[in-house]
A and B are shown apart, each in its own frame.
Chain A
Amino acid sequence: MVKQKIVVIGNGMVGHHFLEQLANRPERELFDVLVFCAEPRPAYDRVHLSEYFGGRTADDLAMGKVEQYREWGYDLRLNDAAVSIDRENKIVTSASGASAAYDHLVLATGSYPFVPPIPGHKHDKCFVYRTIEDLDNIQAAAKDGKVGVVVGGGLLGLEAANALKQLGLEAHVVEFAPGLMSVQLDEGGSKLLREKIQALGVTVHTSTATELIEEVDGRRLRMNFKGDKSLDTDLIVFSAGIRPEDSLAKSAGIELGERGGIVVDNHCRTSDKNIYAIGECALFNNFIFGLVAPGYTMARTAVSLLCGEAAEFNGADMSTKLKLLGVEVGSIGDAHGRAEGSAAITFVDEQTGVYKRMITDREGKKLRGAVLVGDTGDYDTLLQYHLNDMDLPEHPEQLILPALDGAAPALGADALPDTATICSCHNVSKGDIVGAVQGGCCSLGEVKDCTKASTGCGGCAALLKNVVDTELAALGVEVNNDLCPHFPYTRQEIFHMVQVEEIKTFDELLHRHGTGKGCEICKPTAASIFASLWNEHIHNKPHVGLQDTNDTFMANMQKNGTYSVVPRIAGGEITPDKLIVLGQVAKKYDLYTKITGGQRIDLFGARLEELPEIWRELTDAGFETGHAYGKSLRTVKSCVGSTWCRFGVQDSVGMALTVENRYKGLRSPHKIKMAVSGCTRECAEAQSKDIGVIATENGWNLYVCGNGGMRPRHADLFATDLDDVTLIKYIDRVLMFYVRTADKLQRTSVWMENLEGGLDYLREVVIEDKLGICDELERQMGNVVGTYQCEWKTAINDPEMLKRFRQFVNTDEKDEKIVFVEERKQRRPATEEEIVKIAEPA
C-alpha cells in the first residue's frame, strides 16, 4: 500500500493537537507524516506562558515530546522552518534545504506579535511575548533593570505585565485605546479591571500613543507619548495584538484576506484544495480566532476530513475566563451588547470590587453575553445558558446577584442538556462525562484521564467536578469513612470500643463489631490500637497475623525481599564503641550501609533468616530496635546544643534523649518524627516534624503537627517558654489525643487540620483541659511508657517467635533468587537484566 503524505508546517498548540488527534485514530496507518517546526522545541503551552516566570520550566510547559512524536511515527524537523511551497509539484522546501513531497499540506503557522511601527521599536531592549526564547531574552534584560513597559492592554499584554512583575520590575501598561481588554470587556468592566490592576502595583496608561522610542543615558529607553509626556524604562515588551503568520501562504499564491490571514472554508481548506489551514493563521468568515479552543476545533475538523469523515468548522464561541495578575475576568458572547434589541442587567459592588453585567434579548429570555470582573463564580452557569441557548429563569438578575442566604440559583449539573459543552478545549460534552462515569470512572481524576476534559485551559474545572459529583451521586456512590468493608466504623470509634470494652484480640473485635475475616486495612489498624492501649508484644500469638510485613519481621522489606535494619540511636548520639559494632555487624553480614535523614544508620540487604542473628549481636552491644518498620515514633533529631555549640541556649541532645526514650515504641496511626533544636537557629529542623522543640533563653518552644515528605507542612507554634516538665506533659497529651482520635494512616498535620477548631481547639484540649481528659491522656501515656520493651530483645529470646524468621520451614537452604552485585564498594540488589546475565553467561 502506498501511504499518503501529510506535511504539517508549524508545531504550536494547534499543530500539536492535529498530530495528537491523528495519532489516536486507526487511519493513522494510512499516512506518512512530516512536521516542520521553526522553533528549537516541539509544541508547548503558550496559554500559560507567563507561568514560566512563576517557576514552571520549559519542560513543564511542553506538550509535544520528541519521544512521543517518535512513538507516533512522525518525522519531526525541529529548528527547520518551511520556506517555500511548490504547489504545482506539491513539494515543501525548508530553511535547511530539505524538501518534502505532500499529498495533503496542513498550515498551522500560527501568528506573530504585532509591533506598531513606532520609530525606535527595533532597539535591542524591545521585545515581543510569544515564545520561550522571547521570555528568556526578557528575563536576561530584566536582570539589571528596574522598570518594564508593556505596550498593549489586551489579554496578552496584561499577561506580559504579570510576567514583568514576577521578574521584579516596576510594571507599566501603555494602551492606545481608552480601556483595557477592550475586545472582551465593556466600559464598566474595563474600568474596574484597571483599578484592580493599578492596586496591584501596575501603572496603567490608557489613551496613550507612543510616538518615539529613544535611548537615553546610553542604556535606558525613553518612550515619548503624544502630548509631551514621556516614560523612562529599562525594557519594552510589545503585545499589541497578533497577526496571522501567512507569509508562506502568500508567496505560494494562496488566497489571503484583505488584512491578512489564510482564507479557509468550513472544511478548513484554503483556496488550494490540497492545503488546509488551522489555528491563528486561518481566516474564517473574515475572522481570526485568537484562542486555543477554536484552533483545536479546526484541527479536529481537518483530521476528520483527512480520515474520510464528514466534518465542518462553523466558527466558534469566543467566551473566555481567566485570571490576570490574580484578577478574575470573564467574557461571554456579545459582551458589548452590540446586537440590536439587547438589554443589560448590571451589578456593581464597589466595596469588594466586583462588576457583573448580563446582556439579554429584549424580553430577558436568552443570554447574549456577559462581562464579569473581580468574581467569575457565575461564569460557568452563564456560559451554559449562552451556549445552549437555554431560557433564562424568571428573574435572570439572580444569576449575578450575590445570594444572601447562601443559596445561589446556580445552574445544577442536572439542568444541563447532555449536549452541553463542558470543556471547550477538548470538546467534551456533558453526555461524554456522564458516559465516562457510567462506564466505570469513579473519580474526577479518572474522568479527566478518560475524557481529557479540563486538561486544556482548566477553566471548566469547577463545572466538571459538579457534573462528575452529581453523576456519581446519582449512581449511589457515596463517600464514607468506614475503616474498611469489615468494620462500618471510623478508626476513632473502633479505638473507643476497644478501650471501653477492653477488647484485647482481633477475633474478639471482629466478633463483636465487624463482619467477615478482616483485611490488610483493619488488621494492622486493630494491632496498632491494641498496642497503643495494652502494649503487648506485637508477636504475641493473637497479634501475629495482624501485622504488616515490616512489623511482622521488625525490619523494612526492600525491593528484593531482603530487609534493612535500623537500630535506635537516640538523639543521634552514639559512642565510638557502638559505631564500631555497627561497622562490624555490617561487615560480617555484608550489609549496605547508609546514614538516614533521621540521624541513624540503616543496614540493608539482610536476609530473613539473618535478622535474629544480627539482632542478637546488636542487642548484646546495647542496641535497641529503632521501630523504623512501625507506625510509631521513629527518631528524635537533635543539634548538639549548649553542651558544645557556642550559640546553644539549652541542652538539646539531653532533651532529645529524654523525649526519644519516653516515646520510643509508641504505636500510632502513622509514623511520628520529632526534633529538638538548641537555639533559634533551628539546626535540627524541628519545624518540619510532628513534634518540634526549640530551645529559648527561658525554656522550650513547642511546635506541633509539621511534616516533611510528599506534602510538607511547617509545624505550628503551640506553646512558648515551657519548663521541662510542662513540655513533656503537653507532648504526652497531644500525642495520646492524636493516637485516640486520628483516622487510619492520618499524619498529625492532616489530623489537626481536620479537627474542628484546628490549632486553637487543640490548645483548649491540651492546655486548658476543655474536655477534662488530660489526666487520662497522661495516665495512658504513662502506661505505654511503663510497659515498653525492645521488641527485638524479647523476640530473640523466644524460640516460638523466631519461627517465622526461617527462610524455609523444611530446609536450611538459602533463597537463591536473591542476587546482589557490587556498586561503589557495597552490595545492592541486582537488576533484572543483571540477574539474567549472571544466570546465563554468554
Chain B
Amino acid sequence: MSEVAITRAEWLQVCKRSDLVANSGVCALVGGRQIALFFLPDQEPQLYAIDNWDPIANAGVIGRGLVAEINGDLSVASPLYKQHYRLTDGQCLEEEDIQLDTFPIAFEGDDVLIQVG
C-alpha cells in the first residue's frame, strides 16, 4: 500500500451480505490486510470493520472473537487471551495504549463496501 499514495480512500466491495455471519465475525483480505467484519443485525450500525491482528496474542484471530457488551460498549473479545476491543474505534479496554485500526464499512444493496485508506 505504501507505494500508491491514496489521498482519498475509496469504497471497495469486499463481499456479499450472504458471506457475513449474523451476530458474529468473518475475515476478509483487503489489499493484503486482514480485516475482521462483524455483522450485528439488531444493532445500529449493523456493520463493523476492525483489524484482524491481535497484537497481544500475535495472531490474526479477532474476527473469530465473541461479541460482548462491556460497560455499554460493543466490543469483541479476542479468542486467545480475551482482551476486549471496542468495535467502534478499536480501543483495547484492558490496555490503554493498544488500539486496533477500524475502517468505514457499509451495505450497498447486497454488497458490503469498505474504505481502507
A residues apposed to B, CB below 8 Å: 485-486, 507, 516-521, 523-524, 541, 544-550, 552-553, 557, 559-561, 608, 803-804, 806-811, 813, 815, 817-818, 832
Contact = CB atoms under 8 A, between A and B. Distances in A.
B18 to A, nearest CB: 8
A810 B79 contact: no
B66 A524 contact: yes
A557 B68 contact: no
27 contacts: A485-B71, A507-B42, A517-B43, A517-B74, A520-B68, A520-B82, A523-B66, A523-B68, A544-B24, A545-B66, A546-B66, A550-B79, A557-B79, A557-B80, A560-B59, A561-B59, A561-B64, A803-B26, A804-B24, A808-B28, A809-B26, A810-B28, A810-B29, A817-B53, A817-B59, A818-B60, A832-B58
B14 interface: yes
Contact of B22 (A541, A552, A806): A541
A520 B77 contact: yes
Given A808-B28, A809-B28, A810-B14, A544 B66 contact: no
Nearest to A545: B23
Nearest to A806: B26
Contacts of A811: 28-29
Contact of A547 (B28, B66, B80): B66
Contacts of A560: 58-59
A549 B79 contact: yes
Contacts of B67: 517-518, 545
Interface of B: 14-15, 19-24, 26-30, 34, 37, 42-43, 53, 57-61, 64-72, 74, 77, 79-80, 82
Contact of A561 (B20, B60, B72): B60
Chain A interface main SS type = loop
A197 B23 CA distance: 67
Contact of A552 (B24, B60, B74): B24
Given A519-B70, A545-B66, A549-B66, A809 B19 contact: yes
B80 A519 contact: no
Residue picked from A552, A561, A810, most chain B C-beta under 10 Å: A810
A809 B34 CA distance: 11
B66 A809 contact: no
A809 B15 contact: yes
B67 to A, nearest CB: 6
A803 B19 contact: yes
B21 A803 contact: yes
A744 to B, nearest CB: 15
Given A804-B24, A810-B30, 9 more contacts: A517-B43, A517-B67, A518-B67, A544-B21, A545-B24, A561-B57, A811-B28, A817-B34, A818-B60
B108 to A, nearest CB: 15
Contacts of A520: 66, 68, 77, 82
A516 B72 contact: yes
| Among all A-B residue pairs, the 4 with the closest Cβ atoms | A545-B23, A549-B79, A519-B68, A561-B59
B34 A549 contact: no
A486 B72 CA distance: 10
Contact of A517 (B29, B57, B69): B69
Given A518-B69, A545-B66, A557-B80, A804 B26 contact: yes
A19 to B, nearest CB: 32
Nearest to B64: A549
Contacts of A557: 61, 64, 79-80
Nearest to A516: B69
A519 B28 contact: no
A552 B43 CA distance: 21
B96 to A, nearest CB: 14
Contact of A804 (B21, B70, B79): B21
Nearest to A814: B29
A808 B69 contact: no
Contact of A807 (B27, B53, B58, B82): B27
Contacts of A818: 59-60
B64 A559 contact: no
Nearest to A506: B23
Nearest to B12: A810
Given A544-B21, A804-B24, A832-B58, A813 B29 contact: yes
Contacts of A549: 61, 64-66, 79
A487 to B, nearest CB: 12
A809 B61 contact: no
Contacts of B24: 544-545, 552, 804
Nearest to A831: B58
A122 to B, nearest CB: 60
B21 A810 contact: no
Nearest to A544: B24
Given A806-B26, A808-B27, A559 B57 contact: yes
Contacts of A517: 43, 67, 69, 74
